Every structure is written in C-alpha cells, then in structure tokens.
Structure 1
Amino acid sequence: MPNLAHPDMTVDGLLRSAAVRDPEGLAVRTEHGAWTFGELDALADRIAAFVRRETGRRPGARVGVASVLDPVFAAAYHGVARGGATVVLINPLIGDDGLRHVTAAAGVELALVPSATAARLARLRGALPALETVVVTDPADDGVPAGCLPLGTVLDGPAEPALGRPGGADPDAVACVQFTTGTTGLPKGVLLTHRNLVANARQTALAHGLGPGSVTVNHLPLYHVMHLNSALDAGACQVLCQDPDPVTSLAVAAGTGATHYYGLPARLHRLAADERLPRTAPAARGGTRLTAVLSGGSALLPEAARTLGDLLGVPVVQGYGMAELSPLTHCQRPGRPHRPGTVGTPVPGTECRLVDLATRRPVEPGSLGEVQVTGPQLMAGYLGEQAGSHLGPDGWFSTGDIGSVDDDGALRLVDRVDDIFKYDNEIVSPGRVERVLARDPRVADCVVAGLRDPEHGRAAWAGVVLREEPGARAADDEVLRRVVARANEQLAPFEHIRAAEVLSAVPRTPTGKPARGRVRQTLAERAAFRSRPALRPFDLLQEQTMVTFVNKLTVHGDLDTFLAVKHKLTAYMAAQPGYVSHQVMRHAWHSNVYLELAVWEDADAHQKAVRSDEFQSLVKQLGPLASPEPGLFETVEASA
C-alpha cells in the first residue's frame, strides 16, 4: 500500500493543531461573521467540558450533532470528540422516521441540534428512551422547545482544555457514527475511528491541493466532515454559503477570494443551466483566485462540467467515496489533466482493485468489475454488526459499485451492483442507457431500471422527463416513442428499451442519484397487483403511481357497531373505480386500535371516492365511535 504520513492523534487534534499554528487565522466565515481557529478551539473546549459533565465521563457515550452548515457544528463536532464521547451525525433534513431510527439505533443520550430538530426530537422523546438532554444550538425565534436547553446556558461551566489525547483516547477508538442514506433499506450506522478521520483529512487535503492560503467555498446543504477536517488539516479558511442560489454562491466566491469551490452535482447542474451564468461568470472569474470546482456525491454530467469549466476557466474536478471510507478514496487532481467521465486515481495511501462479479478474482485494466478498496480510511465496521463482517476473506472492502480502471489507474464508474441486470446472459448497465437517452435534446431527465421479463430475465424500462418546447408538438407518448427509437439505434440489442413512460420528475436520493431501487420496487408492485404480463412495450405510458391509504383508528365507542359500519364502508369503497385491495389489522396488545391499508391505482381515484355523499355519510356514522389518523402514501419498497 502506498505510504501516507498522517498525525497519530484523535480527530479533535486537527482543530487544536490549527489553533496552535495560527490562533488568529480565519477558520470559518459566514454572512454573519468570522471565527478564528483559536475561537473555534476555545468553544470546542467548553463543549467538551459540558459533554464530560453530562455523560459522566463515560468513554464512547453517544452524542448526536446535527450537521448544519454553521460554525457551531465545527466546534460541537470536535468538542464532543474532545470530551471522550462518540459523535453521531444527524442529518436535519431527514424525516421523523429517519430521525427516530438514527437516534434510537445509535443510543443517543445527548443531542446538540438546531431548534427545528430539537422540536422534532421533543415530539419523539417517547420513542427515544436513551435520550436525556437536548441542547438547542441556534437562537429560536419562538423560544427553546419545552424540555430543551439553550447552548449558552450549558457553556457557563469551566472549560477543561484537553491536550494530546483527551481522556487517554485511543486513535483507533470509534470517533463518529455516520449513517448511510438508506436507499436500499434502513440507514446503517458506519463506525469511523479517529485514525480513519485524521487519515482521510490528510488524504483529502493532499488530493485537493489545500494549504494554509486556501479559501474554500462550501455551497452545500449540510456541513460535511470531509470538508471540515481537510480544511483544518491544511489550515485553510472555509466559507459557508447557505444561500441555495448557485449564482449567488459565485458572487460569494469572488468576494472572499476563494481558491476552491465545493458543490453537489444537482446544484452544479442548475448552475451550468442558469441563464445568468454567461453574464456573471466573467466577473466571478476575474474576482476569484479559483483553482478548481470540486464535485462529489453522484455523477456530474460531462456537459455541465464542460460548461462550467469553459465559463469559469478552471478545471471541474470529480471525486468518489462513501461513508464507509471516511469518505474519499478517489479524486481527479486540480492541477493535472483528467479524462472526462472518470473520478480520478486513488488518494494517497489507498489501494483499489476491481474483481469479477462471479469469480471474485481481480480483472484486467479496462474490464468491468466490482470496485474494492482498502486503506487507513476504511471504517471499523457497521453499528450492531460483528466486527470484520464488512471485509472480504482477504481484507478488502467491496463497495457495491461497478466500474473499470484505465491504464493510468483512473476509475470510471458504471453502476451499482444492485442496479445492473441481465437480459438473457448479457449484463445491462442502466447508467449507460441513461447516458444515451440524455443525449437526446428532447430529454430533460431520465431513469432506467430492469423490468421483469419472463422470456429474457429482465429488460430495460425507461422513465423519461421530456423538455418543454415552444409551440405545438406531438402528444407526449409519440415524442417518447421517437426518443426511445433513437436511443435504441445507439444501443446493443440486449440494451434496447422495451417499455417506457413519461415522468413529471425522476425520483432521486438525498445525494441526487436516481433512486433506481424505488423505481424497481414500484414496477414490482405494479406487476404483483395487476396480474398482467410483466413486459409489454410501451404499455406503461403515463400511468400514475399506485398509492396506499393508511388509517389508524382508535375505537372509543361500541366495538360491534364500529365493525358493522366499517364493513359497510369497506364494501362501498371496494366497488369504486381504481380500488385495488384492502386490509384491516388489529393491534396485538391494544384491542381497540386498528390499522387500515387500502391500495388504489392512483390518488385521484381515491379522492373521487372519498368525496362521494355515501362515503361521507358512512364516515359521519364512524365519527362518534373512533378517532382516525389518516394518511396517503406512495410505495417505496415492494417485492414480486
């Protein structure tokens, strides 16, 4: 393995070292002010003292910290680590189910979160028995939620500076639990050690060319520890741009003398397509010291990269990694030429190989295989799973991504293992089919998945978002037929799109990737419910997504009367157009609590039925008997 020299210390040592080197140097800037390395370090000391008092100095106590794009996160993250506890990263943008899962699974007992997240945690406290204290890290307009503490009051106690390894902490101890996005199931807790994070901070700083004079603009929805820690390792200043407008972020870059601009592909795509960009790019180009635009999280379209590179006059650099790898493993280098479509070579200290999906033996350069990685940034394991279970027999970690490596070692990603499928005995890459579709000027966005085919195994299904065109045009289904025909001319026979439909939008994961898993599950549900051939060319045109009506009913009247009225209501609904199936379940422990699930072909059919006079009459009869908690849901997981 290539050698990598990185400090042998706990992760909060990155902040301490930066403060010792340059206490008056600017660490973080926002529109509201600036914080020096010394000021952040002092705040981390006070948070560390509070964490110790609150957790009884128990090593590894779990403390939730919301990754908001705010300087407080930087101090809280390193303060919790300095206090001897384990940081549990909380994404404040996730829904209540995700918030409850992350907090409960990690056993969070103390949380430092903004007021909006604190209010949600307050509502969920009954399902979070381990959670004892919630601290609000921002000033709430309507006050601190009941049962929570303002940050100012918890910092009144004395600081306890921690030099070297605080509390005798081991660099190989778990410093952080970061949850995956959960696109194929519940999010999994990734256990990252101090050594993982410190090593990846150095790897990222080297790969991105960061140094003491660097100024990075983080135009991101959340504060990512990769950007935080690499900047601290390099002694660079971070500018946090919270305004979602991509053109505004360029003005921020120009006004702060940025050298590096970090953005998610979804935002960079919007920036490249923004009609204001050609007018504003020259001013931004002349007002910055910009050396690179850096993208990660999902693939950036080559057209967008070319547009940004040409207008801004700097390379647009892509990287690759995942939570399990702290996260960076590959990166194109800002000062070196790179091949379009690749994510670069391994960062220092990292080894990468590709293995055959069937034999698991390494493949030659240029051949497709699953990406495997090893290095000092590789996680300790998954929360709740046996140590070492994430590794193969020879110690390599399988990423689940399919790609190829060229002769120079640059990695080109193709798809996820779960996304590829076989038509007869040929492997089909949805990503490749999507790229061909995306070249059609009539296509605004698209997603491809494998649809069950009883004769060939699976075949390509495409969901296409069509561009709006001025003037009259043919019906959407006819435009779609032409788009598919053009794509099929450029695809191998086994890659041909056999079924397609027009979508209003492509479902995407929180990181902007096409949510192919959700698409597959929806297709599977359709096949399961409709009992029709799983593949019929273009018979899915413009169908609406099946929906499920879920209603929790708590009975407080006569049970027999309730069941009689409920039976009449069910019989009426079953006779209505668009009805698919119905199920009622009773709680195993509370005999007066029922859960009703009714599947409908689409939301419009359901709404038409519930607006009818007969439905409303029956609902009024139920009113004195039970309290309903209704909701309408779209399926995100199914199997067939």
Structure 2
Amino acid sequence: MTDRVCLAYADREFTTTDLECLTNGTAEVLESRGVRAGDRVALMSSNRPEFVFALRGAWALGASVVLLSPAWKRAEVDHALAVTGAKHAVGDHPVLAEALPMLHLDEAVAPSDRTFPALDPDTDALFVFSSGTTGLPKAARHTHRAFAVAITHWRAALGLGPDDRMQIMTPPSHILGLLNIATALDAGAWIRLHPRFDVDTMLAHIQSDRITVEMAVAPIALAFAAHPRIESYDLSSLRYVMWCATPVTKSVADEVTARVGIRWITAYGATEFPVISSNPLDDARLDTVGRPVPGVEMRIVSVDDGAVLGTGQDGEIQVRSASVMAGYLPEDATASAFADGWYRTGDIGNLDADGYLRITDRAKEMIKVRGFQVAPAEVESVLHGHSAVGDCAVFGVPDPADGEAIVAAVARTGAVEESELITLIGDRLASYKRPRRVVFVEEIPRLPSGKVLRRVLKERVMSACAKNREL
C-alpha cells in the first residue's frame, strides 16, 4: 500500500505508516504499564491524534477501551470506572489523572514496527456511555465484530471513499465522533481533527483543505445560518453536510442552502446501535431520517401490546442488525433494552410507503442536548442532595440551538434560589447537564407507585411560564 497522509492536526500531518508505528509504540508503553488482553482501559481525551493512537494501541494488546467524556466531573468519572471496572487510564484530562494513574497523551511515544496478534472479533472493543431514565449512565458494550459492521454501514451511508476529505470537531467520546474517525480511516479518506468546535475554523478549513463531507449537529447548522460572512468562503468542495444526532430544523437547512448552495443529508443512530437509517445520497428528504441502511432491519410496534404496525402508523421504533451492542454494564439493564432480539430505541415514529422513517416522539424520558443524552434521574439525584429540595423532577423542552434544554421543577422545603441549584449541578455534572431553568412548584405530580407524571408536570410548568413569558 502506498504511504500517504491520512491524518492532520494543526500543522502536524501523519501518514498511514506514522499511524501504524505510533499505534504500536503506544501499545508498547501501555504494555509496560501493565495493560494486558482482556483489560479495560479508560480513555479521556480531547480530539487529537494521540487519541487515535491510544485507542488502537489498547486494541492491539487485546484490551478494550472505556470512553469518558472530557466534559465530565469527578463523580461521573468515578461512576464510569466503577461500572466498567477499568483499572488503567490514558488521556489528557486532570480529572481522570486524579482517579487512576494515567498515561498522559503529551508524553513522547517512540514509533515501533512491532506486530501484534490478530484480534478476536468477538472480544470487547468499546464501552460507550448512554444515559438511562432511572439511574446513572450505562455503558454500552460493543465487540470488534459489531463495531466493524457499524463502520461498514456508516461508510456505505456516507458513500465515503479514499478521495474524500473530512474534518472532525465532535468529541471522540461520543459515538458519532468515534464512528467518524474510525470510518474515515477504514475508507482511506483524509481527516483533520480539531480540539473543539469553532465555526470560522470549520469554514476556513472546508475552503483550505477542500473538505468533501462535513458533519453537523444543530448548533453547527445554526452557526452556519447565523454567520454574517458565510458567502465569503469557498465551500464548493462539499458533496454534502450530514446533519446527525439532533433533529433537522428544515428552515435552517434551507436558509443555508439558499445562501451558499450546501446540500444536506440526515441520519439516525444511537450509542447502542450506531447506524440505523440515513437519507439516500440521491434522494434526501429532510423531514425524515431516511431509510434503514442495508443490513439493518426495522419494525414499528404498538407501545400498548407490541403488535407490528403498518405503514404510516406511529409506534416504537425497533431495529436489529449485527452492529447492535452486546449489552449494557450494569448487565441487569440489558434485558429491558431488547424485545425478541430487536433493540428497543425508545423513539416513536412511522414508516411511509417508500420506507422513509419519521420520528415523532420519544417514549424514553432522556433529554438530548447537543446530541448528548441526559438522564433526568442523574440531575434529580444531585438536586435531592440539597437540604432545601423536598422533591424535584427534570424534563426537556425544545431548543433551536441545542435540540432540547433542561428544565428542573423543584418543590422547596427551605430557602434556596434558582442560581444556587444551577451552580450545584454545574459543579457536580458535565456542563451540558446543567438546567437552563429551575422552576419552583408546589408539588411534583406522581402516581401512587411514585413514578413522576412527567408530561403532566411539563404541561403545568410550560403553561405557567407562558403566562409569565418565561422559557
């Protein structure tokens, strides 16, 4: 194979040989620190080339990787380590270094031409965290075989090949960021990594790097639409922009297209099932999330009795494929995620006569902020720790920039102000889990079983806020 540049970061470039040798060198350093086949290695990193070397280096040793968000605070990291049993750490984040002895990604690694045994495809590759509605985040367990299938699906959906050029600003701890990196390398495409999102940087590099495929979530699309000088950039190299992780705001997409001619595609996936559906490249219908990708089966079932529903009927979206996760940690959370071998997405939708999927509601109570899932129970557990909070419940409301914004309803038993509770959550949890608003209520409506009547609460709060012109 011809050696070629495949990875760029700032003013550094790496060839395919560099990637292989630095992966091997990182594997040797991890091995010297005690990492062995079957171990779980926590990885908490910004988007940088060393993330790729560490991920692949751990895999070379037969270890699996536990992906931790660099936005997390110590309590979240401690939970992830406890759930997965990770005993080794690599990254560039002080929070992980406080929790475990950590190989810092700034440490020099010597390239190596050592070879390692072939991987067993049925061993664990990844643990990626996904929020649930009744407790702290769960780790979705992916084998090498399943993740390889997901890469195949994503490559086909993107029509990605060796002539393509991508830049990646989404966090590598999120399934989308990781999948983009892995798929681009698998396809032989060229990629540039950026440590964070900046709209001017993104636009400038589309122009200078001749980017062909761009990834966007709602904040990126809105930044495009709001940019006063977007017409000054040469974006003609783009084949399309893929809008992922958050619902498409068609008016925003149409506005950007009218200004600079960008073509949009949309797709649908989950942490547990990375690629579910995508718009065909030759027939994008942005009011849908496309058709199931080849290799994924889909059905719509009644939320009442599980019966399979027909065209145009709303029900829970269930899917199955060789790309689905192997299960959760904790393991007891796995059974409820499946029905007769079908993965239960928890989303409500319907299939039209042409096989295009429309998502109309969420059966689960997760809140999706900038593509990240937030469990109401996790935020509520922090609020319950305050002595002046008698009861509370958390829900999401639509937000044009973030997809959803978090609102906390709190019944007080003592003196406490909104800002104090928002700060409390911000100190304990990642910034995207911080409520936009805290609304004080007389009581939290619950069933006799104790279950929060979240829809009733949301309607009450939204109605009261509308009267006061809030939210």
Q: Identify whether the pair has TM-score above 0.5, normalized to the shorter chain.
A: yes
Q: Does residue 84 of structure 1 match 2:84?
A: no
* Aligned: 1:241 with 2:194: yes
2:321 alignment partner AA: G
Q: Distance in 1 between matches of 2:419 and 2:243?
A: 40
Is the contact made by 1:188 and 1:383 (CA closer than 8 Å) also made in structure 2? yes
**Counterpart pick for 2:371 among 511, 514, 528:** 511
Partners of 2:133 and 2:340 lie apart in 1 by 28
Per the alignment, do residues 313 and 176 of structure 1 end up closer, same or farther by CA in structure 2, a change over 3 Å counting?
A: same
> Which residue of structure 2 aligns with residue 213 of structure 1?
163
Tell me what 1:457 maps to.
none
Structure 2 residue aligned with 1:60, among 38, 43, 48?
A: 38
Q: State which of 314, 330, 341 in structure 2 corresponds to 1:368.
A: 314
Q: Deviations over 1:155-211 (max 9, x none)?
A: 459663125x1xxx3201111111114565311011000011111111111110100
Equivalent of 2:151 in 198, 201, 226: 201
- Structure 1 residues 99 and 605: alpha-carbon distance in aligned structure 2, compared to 1, 3 A threshold: closer
Q: CA deviation at 1:312?
A: 3.2
Q: CA separation in 2, counterparts of 1:47 and 1:236?
A: 23
TM-score calculated relative to the size of structure 2: 0.78
The equivalent position to 1:358 in structure 2, one of 282, 285, 304, is 304
Give the Cα separation in 1 of the matches to 2:193 and 2:344: 34
Going from structure 1 to structure 2, the CA distance change for 1:387 and 1:96 (only over 3 Å counts) comes to: closer
- How far, CA to CA, are the matches of 1:97 and 1:314 in structure 2? 42
> What amino acid is aligned across from residue 322 of structure 1 in structure 2?
A
Are 1:161 and 2:115 counterparts?
yes
Q: CA deviation at 1:294?
A: 0.8
User: Within the alignment, does 1:324 sit opposite 2:288 as a pair?
Assistant: no
Paired position in structure 2 for 1:30? 9
Partner of 2:252: 304
Give the structure 2 partner of residue 403 of structure 1: 349
Higher-Rg structure is: 1
Alpha-carbon contact 2:130-2:373 (below 8 Å) kept: no
Q: Report SS of the residue matched to 1:105.
A: helix
State the distance in 2 between where 1:413 and 1:358 align: 18
Aligned sequence identity (%): 28
Counterparts in 2 of 1:418 and 1:344: CA distance versus 1, 3 Å: same
- Contact in 1 for aligned 2:22/2:110 (Cα 8 Å): no
Aligned to 1:137: 105
Map 1:31-430 → 2, pairs under 5 A: 31-55=10-34, 57=36, 59-114=37-92, 117=93, 119-123=94-98, 125=99, 131=100, 133-138=101-106, 151-152=107-108, 155=109, 160-162=114-116, 165=118, 169-181=119-131, 185-222=135-172, 224-242=177-195, 244-277=197-230, 279-280=231-232, 283-285=233-235, 288-325=236-273, 327-334=274-281, 336-385=282-331, 389=335, 392-419=338-365
Q: Please report the RMSD computed on the Cα atoms of aligned residues, expressed in angstroms.
A: 3.5
Residue 56 of structure 1: CA displacement?
A: 5.6
CA offset at residue 511 of structure 1?
2.2
1:604–1:30 distance in 2 versus 1, CA, 3 Å: closer
2:89–2:103: 8 Å Cα contact kept in structure 1? Answer: yes
Structure with higher RCO (Cα < 8 A, 6+ apart): 2
CA distance in 2, matches of 1:42, 1:604: 50
Which amino acid is 1:41 matched to?
A: E
Which amino acid letter does the alignment assign opposite residue 72 of structure 1?
Answer: E
Whole-angstrom distance in 2 between the partners of 1:387 and 1:193: 18
**CA apart distance, 1:54:** 2.8
Q: Take 2:74 and 2:308, find their aligned partners in 1: how far apart are those partners?
A: 43
Q: Give, as a single letter, the amino acid of the residue that structure 1 aligns with 2:228.
A: E
Q: Quote the offset at 1:522 in angstroms.
A: 12
For the residue of structure 2 that corresponds to 1:323, the secondary structure is coil
User: Which whole-Å CA distance do the structure 1 matches of 2:164 and 2:203 have between them?
Assistant: 16
CA distance, structure 1, for counterparts of residue 270 and residue 375 of structure 2: 17
> Counterparts of 2:371 and 2:253 in 1: how far apart (Å)?
18
Whichever residue aligns with residue 162 of structure 1, its letter is F
Q: 1:201 to 1:47 in 2, by over 3 A?
A: same
2 CA distance for matches of 1:272 and 1:160?
49
- TM-score, normalization: structure 1? 0.58
Matches within 5 A, 1:602-617: 602-603=417-418
Deviation at 1:67, TM superposition (A): 4.4
Give the aligned length: 411
Q: Secondary structure at the match of 2:331?
A: coil
